[in-house]
């Protein structure tokens, strides 16, 4: 029955189907082939410097991973990084979106200014990660950095184990909170004002309005934004870490993408790096499913 | 509902069309960027590229060169015309960012994809990997014995599989000790030092002397005694100097890993002790950060490559001095300098050989040394009076030549990270140097050989 439905649907939307076919084929090849190849390599040993042979080792790479302290270290660092940075970014993004909304509703000029302010806030997000990393590295410099010179102290922002991770989270939050800001601001401005007006008529204050009307209405959007951003932070945080700490001090900030890069593209242990990539992919997949289920 | 559905469809159509247009634009932009990334980005080069393609079509000779993004590659790019005029061979040069270069070496020299006739820019952490394991055409086949003998430290570049010279370096350099000459020669400092350590204050030659001098001048936050930058590729230089200075290596004749030998353990111990005299933040910094500290007068001494001496010797003449790197048995002279090879699958290997011969020629080596301050790879150029006069304190450099060495392993990049990990275990007080090296040798890298 289901089969017929799909066939009918294709027949009915023939024109649209042909239009999307090239994109579908493109997706199939350029997404499925690398994943399949990575999966294949994850069950093999392949280090071209030692030998050109690709040797089947079954689950050895996976077994090795879960006994390797550096993997567990990176996994925990990446999880901490993801959770904290996403929470900070979401709170900052939501707060600014709410403030801009209040300001916007105060008249035409205020509305215009709020649009300009919103555009300015987008700048960090539009900056390339490498450029943002260089700027933050200069700001954090213990001897010549602006932050220490303002504070008048010699704080080792990038050299103490936990402080380095915190500094990375701050830099990442600065760069990425506009993602939440834009989404939340769009959500707030598109919300129906009737409920809010009714609540206000009934004597609700701003906080009550926020708690009982605005946030519940925004909840699905908040969850989707958090899921996207969490997966993004978990799997793609690389450039900032690479520039700011290089994974150091020691391996204190070696997030999973950096571990994969080092294992594969610097140490040429492609089998292990592939297993790592598959595990990270599965983690982010499961993480996404879990968050979506929480939404329900 | 129907109206809503239609509206939705319309929105979806707009979104899809906009996405497709955006994707197309991005693809075009990426294509343009890739083109612009090749060699340089001005319009003249585009014309040159067109000319090269035309030349190739017309049967003219074009040699394809890959190099690493660096001032040294820029120097070569600026002098390509000389080669082209001399040989009639056009040069197409790709300058590859450092983060991509390792994979490119692998593809050209191990997997043999055959894009380039010349592959250059390999630092000493890659020497053993590619000299011992790479697929290339030995340059030794095209040189006389005298020409090969003229290259100092040539043994490092001899392929054990064939006994032939693999290729040549564009230049040679190593880490030197840069120190505050003005303070070292200050009579008050000398007197205070003598009183504290019961010996004269001199440029340190052994590691114990280095520790004493670093300790004496460690006066934070005004000045720091020594700098060890703990980023893997930076600290690897400090380890290598200390290990070579102990007269040992990380590999024996059979290629076994020898991380637990006494000299290597001592070297690790010294580097860990020296780190305590560093400025705040050394844990995630490199020697580039030390350059700034030195110029600001906040650092007493550190080890760094030749590139910085041109600036110090001209702008800080009375303030900063240079000396051979320290070492307990010999100066810890850790050689490096962009090894260049002709891949076995090069499209035009004979042109690649021509290019390497130009690289190694007396004139190129001499002019490059005078212009950049990096030393030549040829002994005869080292004797040239113009070269000697062009580098301040040349005698200090030349004194190092007999001691040049490298750390022999085919997985240098991986070992760098392991050594850094062991180093932090010592610095954090988890183990002593012997324990850290034992962990590295018998646990982390158990069953591994230095030459794999």
| DSSP string across B211-275 | HHHHHHT-BTTTBBS-----SHHHHHHHHHHHHHHTT--SB-TT-BB-TTSHHHHHHHHHHHHHH
Q: Is the peptide bond before B43 cis (omega within 30 degrees of 0)?
A: no
Q: Strands B90-96, B62-68: parallel, antiparallel or unpaired by DSSP?
A: parallel
Is residue B34 scored above 80 in pLDDT?
Answer: no
In 3D space, the residue among B452, B212, B234, B448 whose CA is nearest the CA of residue B326 turns out to be: B212
ipTM: 0.79
Provide the pLDDT for residue A202.
87
Q: Do A48 and B292 touch (CB under 8 A)?
A: no
3-state SS class at A55: strand
pTM above 0.90, yes or no: no
DSSP state of B12: H
In chain B, residues with a C-beta closer than 8 Å to the C-beta of A144 are 292, 296
Which DSSP string do the residues of B368-426 spell out, in sequence order? HHHHH-PBPSBHHHHT-HHHHHHSTTHHHHHTTGGG-B----S-HHHHHHHHHHHHHHH
Q: Band of the pLDDT at B23, cuts 50, 70, 90?
A: low
CA separation for the pair A111, A105 (Å, rounded) = 7
Q: Higher pLDDT residue, B116 or A66?
A: B116
pLDDT digit string (tens) for B47-62? Answer: 555 455 555 555 689 9
Taking all residues of chain B, what is their mean pLDDT, rounded to a whole number? 90
Name the nearest CA neighbour of A23 among B10, B20, B249.
B20
Nearest to B284 among A49, A154, A246 (CB): A246
CA atoms within 13 A on the CB side of B306: 27
- Average pLDDT score over residue span B398-402: 95
- Whether B208 has a pLDDT exceeding 90, the answer reads yes
Among the partner-chain residues B129, B284, B296, the one whose CB lies closest to the CB of A159 is B284
What are the backbone dihedrals phi and psi of residue B224, each rounded to the nearest 5 degrees, phi first?
-115, 145
Closest chain A C-alpha to B19 CA, distance in angstroms: 11
Residue B119 has pLDDT above 50, yes or no: yes
pLDDT at A27: 84
Cβ burial of A240 (10 Å; 0-12, 13-18, 19+) is buried
What is the least distance, in Å, from the CA of A98 to any CA of chain B?
A: 27
Cα-based angle A64, A70, A76 (whole degrees, multiple of 5): 110
d(CA B380, CA B287): 31
CA-CA distance, B31 to B36, in Å (whole number)?
9
| Confidence at residue B56, expressed as pLDDT on a 0 to 100 scale | 55
- Does the distance separating the beta carbons of B421 and A158 come in below 8 Å? no
pLDDT single digits (tens) B345-397:
999 999 999 999 999 999 999 999 999 999 999 999 999 999 999 999 999 99
For B247: left if phi > 0, alpha if psi spans -120 to 50, otherwise beta; the answer is left
Of B20, B110, B231, the CB nearest to A49: B110
- Kindly state the average pLDDT of the residues B234-256: 96
Q: What percent of chain B has pLDDT over 70?
A: 87
B341 phi and psi, to 5 degrees?
-130, 160
pLDDT for res B363? 97
For residue A217, how many other CB atoms are within 10 A of its CB?
17
- The strand pair at B62-68 and B118-122 is best described as parallel
Question: Helices A108-126 and A69-104 sit at what angle, rounded to 10 degrees?
Answer: 160
* pLDDT at site A291: 74
The answer to whether B398 and B101 are in contact (CB under 8 A) is no
Both structure tokens of B442: 């018998």
- Supply the pLDDT for residue B200: 97
Looking at residue B45, its pLDDT comes to 42
Split chain A (296 residues) into runs of 10 and give each run's mean pLDDT: 65 78 86 92 94 93 91 95 96 94 83 87 91 95 92 91 95 96 92 84 88 91 91 92 92 95 94 96 86 68
pLDDT score for B37: 41
């Amino acid at each position: 029955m289901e089969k017929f439905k799909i066939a009918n649907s294709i027949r009915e939307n023939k024109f649209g189907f042909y239009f999307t076919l090239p994109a579908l084929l493109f997706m199939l090849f350029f997404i499925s082939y690398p994943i399949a190849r990575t999966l294949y390599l994850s069950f093999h040993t392949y280090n071209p410097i030692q030998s050109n042979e690709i040797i089947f080792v079954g689950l050895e790479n996976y077994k090795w991973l879960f006994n390797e302290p550096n993997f567990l270290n990176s996994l925990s660092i990446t999880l901490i990084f993801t959770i904290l940075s996403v929470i900070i970014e979401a709170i900052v993004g939501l707060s600014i979106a709410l403030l801009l909304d209040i300001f916007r509703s105060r008249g035409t000029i205020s509305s215009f200014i709020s649009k300009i302010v919103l555009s300015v806030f987008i700048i960090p997000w539009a900056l390339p990660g490498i450029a943002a990393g260089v700027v933050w590295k200069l700001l954090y410099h213990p001897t010549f950095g602006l932050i220490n010179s303002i504070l008048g102290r010699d704080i080792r922002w990038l050299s103490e184990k936990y402080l380095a991770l915190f500094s990375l989270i701050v830099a990442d939050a600065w760069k990425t909170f506009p993602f939440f800001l834009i989404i939340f601001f769009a959500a707030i401005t598109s919300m129906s004002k009737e409920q809010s007006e009714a609540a206000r008529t009934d004597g609700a204050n701003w906080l009550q309005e926020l708690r009982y009307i605005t946030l519940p209405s925004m909840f699905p959007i908040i969850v989707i934004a958090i899921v996207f951003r969490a997966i993004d932070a978990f799997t793609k945080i690389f450039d900032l870490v690479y520039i700011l700490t290089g994974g150091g001090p020691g391996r204190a900030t070696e997030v999973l993408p950096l571990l994969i890069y080092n294992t594969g593209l610097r140490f040429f242990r492609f089998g292990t790096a592939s297993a790592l990539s598959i595990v990270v992919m599965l983690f982010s997949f499961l993480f996404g499913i879990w968050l979506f289920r929480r939404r329900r | 509902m129907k109206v809503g559905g239609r509206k939705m469809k319309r929105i979806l159509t707009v979104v899809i069309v906009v996405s497709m247009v955006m994707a197309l634009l991005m693809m075009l932009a990426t294509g343009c960027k890739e083109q612009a990334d090749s060699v340089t980005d001005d319009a003249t080069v585009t014309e040159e590229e067109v000319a090269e393609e035309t030349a190739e079509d017309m049967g003219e000779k074009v040699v394809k060169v890959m190099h690493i993004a660096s001032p040294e590659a820029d120097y070569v790019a600026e002098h390509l015309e000389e080669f082209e005029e001399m040989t009639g061979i056009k040069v197409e040069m790709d300058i590859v960012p450092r983060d991509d270069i390792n994979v490119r070496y692998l593809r050209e020299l191990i997997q043999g994809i055959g894009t380039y006739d010349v592959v250059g820019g390999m630092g000493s952490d890659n020497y053993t990997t590619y000299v011992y394991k790479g697929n290339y055409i030995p340059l030794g086949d095209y040189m006389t014995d005298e020409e090969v003998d003229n290259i100092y430290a040539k043994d490092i570049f001899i392929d054990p599989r064939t006994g032939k010279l693999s290729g040549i370096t564009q230049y040679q350099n190593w880490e030197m000790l840069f120190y505050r000459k003005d303070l070292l020669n200050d009579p008050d400092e000398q007197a205070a030092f003598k009183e504290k350590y019961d010996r004269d204050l001199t440029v340190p030659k052994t590691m114990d002397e280095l520790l004493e001098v670093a300790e004496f001048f460690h006066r934070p936050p005004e000045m720091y005694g020594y700098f060890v930058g703990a980023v893997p590729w930076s600290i690897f230089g400090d380890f290598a100097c200390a290990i070579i200075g102990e007269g040992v290596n990380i590999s024996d004749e059979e290629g076994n890993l020898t991380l637990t030998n006494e000299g290597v353990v001592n070297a690790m111990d010294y580097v860990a002790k020296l780190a305590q005299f560093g400025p705040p933040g050394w844990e995630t910094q490199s020697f580039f950060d030390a350059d700034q500290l030195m110029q600001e007068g906040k650092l007493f001494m550190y080890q760094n490559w030749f590139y910085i001496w041109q600036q110090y010797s001209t702008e800080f003449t009375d303030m900063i001095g240079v000396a051979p790197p320290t070492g307990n048995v010999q100066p810890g002279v850790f050689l490096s300098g962009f090894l260049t090879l002709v891949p076995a699958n090069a499209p035009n290997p004979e042109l690649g050989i021509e290019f390497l011969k130009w690289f190694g020629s007396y004139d190129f080596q001499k002019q490059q040394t005078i212009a950049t301050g990096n030393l030549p790879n040829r002994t005869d150029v080292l004797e040239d009076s113009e070269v000697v006069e062009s580098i301040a304190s040349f005698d200090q450099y030349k004194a190092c030549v007999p001691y040049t060495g490298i750390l022999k392993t085919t997985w240098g990049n991986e070992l760098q990270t392991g050594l850094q990990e062991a180093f932090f275990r010592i610095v954090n007080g988890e183990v002593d140097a012997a324990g850290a090296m034992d962990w590295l040798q018998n646990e982390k890298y158990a069953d591994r050989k230095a030459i794999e």
